[in-house]
Amino acid sequence: MADEALVKNKQVVLKNYVNAGLPKESDMEIKEKSIQLKVPEGTKDAILVKNLYLSCDPYMRNRMKKLEDSYVPSFEPGLPISGYGVAKVVDSTHPEYKNGDLLWGTTGWEEYSLLRAPGLLFKIQHTDLPLTYYTGLLGMAGMTAYTGFYEICTPKKGEYVYVSAASGAVGQLVGQFAKLLGCYVVGSAGSKEKIDLLKNKFGFDEAFNYKEEPDLDAALKRYFPEGIDIYFENVGGKMLDAVLLNMRVHGRIAVCGMISQYNNDKPEATHNLMYIIPKRVRMQGFIVSDFYHLYPKYLEMVIPSIKEGKITYIEDVAEGIESAPTALIGLFIGRNVGKQLVVVSRD
User: CA 163: distance to chain centroid?
Assistant: 15
Q: Give the mean model confidence (pLDDT) for residues 132-151.
A: 96
pLDDT at 84: 95
Rounded CA-CA distance 225/245 in Å is 12
**More reliable by pLDDT, 230 or 61:** 230
Identify whether 309 is part of a domain: no
Asked if residue 147 and residue 90 are part of one domain, the reply reads: no
Angle CA 153–139–342, to nearest 5: 125
- Least confident among 42-46, 235-239, 279-283, 340-344: 235-239
Asked if residue 146 and residue 130 are part of one domain, the reply reads: no
* Confidence band, pLDDT 50/70/90 cuts, at residue 69: confident
Asked if residue 145 and residue 282 are part of one domain, the reply reads: yes
Percent of the residues in the chain that have a pLDDT greater than 70, as a whole number: 97
pLDDT at 281: 97
Asked if residue 169 and residue 144 are part of one domain, the reply reads: yes
pTM of the entire predicted model? 0.89
* Confidence band, pLDDT 50/70/90 cuts, at residue 305: very high
pLDDT of 58 higher than 90: no
Identify whether 308 is part of a domain: no
Examine the fold and report which residue of 273, 289, 305 is the final residue of a domain before the chain moves on: 289
- Least confident among 116-125, 163-172, 338-347: 116-125
Do residues 325 and 25 make contact, with C-beta atoms less than 8 angstroms apart? yes
Identify whether 39 is part of a domain: yes
Asked if residue 192 and residue 215 are part of one domain, the reply reads: yes
Rounded CA-CA distance 277/280 in Å is 5
pLDDT of 198 higher than 50: yes
DSSP reduced 3-state for 187: strand
pLDDT of 159 higher than 80: yes
Identify whether 305 is part of a domain: no
pLDDT of 243 higher than 60: yes
Identify whether 24 is part of a domain: yes
DSSP reduced 3-state for 220: helix
Asked if residue 166 and residue 130 are part of one domain, the reply reads: no
Rounded CA-CA distance 188/169 in Å is 14
Identify whether 99 is part of a domain: yes
pLDDT digits (tens, 9 = 90+) for 80-126: 999 999 999 999 999 999 999 999 999 999 999 999 877 789 999 99
**More reliable by pLDDT, 102 or 19:** 102
DSSP assignment letter at 110: B
Angle CA 119–122–123, to nearest 5: 130
pLDDT at 284: 96
pLDDT of 260 higher than 80: no
pLDDT at 264: 67
Asked if residue 327 and residue 247 are part of one domain, the reply reads: no
**Rg of the chain (C-alpha set):** 21
- Least confident among 14-23, 177-186, 241-250: 14-23
Identify whether 303 is part of a domain: no
Asked if residue 69 and residue 124 are part of one domain, the reply reads: yes
Asked if residue 249 and residue 226 are part of one domain, the reply reads: yes
**Structural domains of the chain, count:** 2
Q: Give the mean model confidence (pLDDT) for residues 258-285.
A: 85
Domain containing 282 — which CATH number?
Answer: 3.40.50.720
* Parent domain of 280: 140-289
- Least confident among 64-68, 104-108, 273-277: 64-68
Percent of the residues in the chain that have a pLDDT greater than 90, as a whole number: 82
Asked if residue 254 and residue 318 are part of one domain, the reply reads: no
Asked if residue 126 and residue 265 are part of one domain, the reply reads: no
* φ/ψ bin of 30: left (φ > 0), alpha (ψ from -120 to 50), beta (otherwise): beta
Identify whether 1 is part of a domain: no
Asked if residue 195 and residue 121 are part of one domain, the reply reads: no
pLDDT at 1: 44
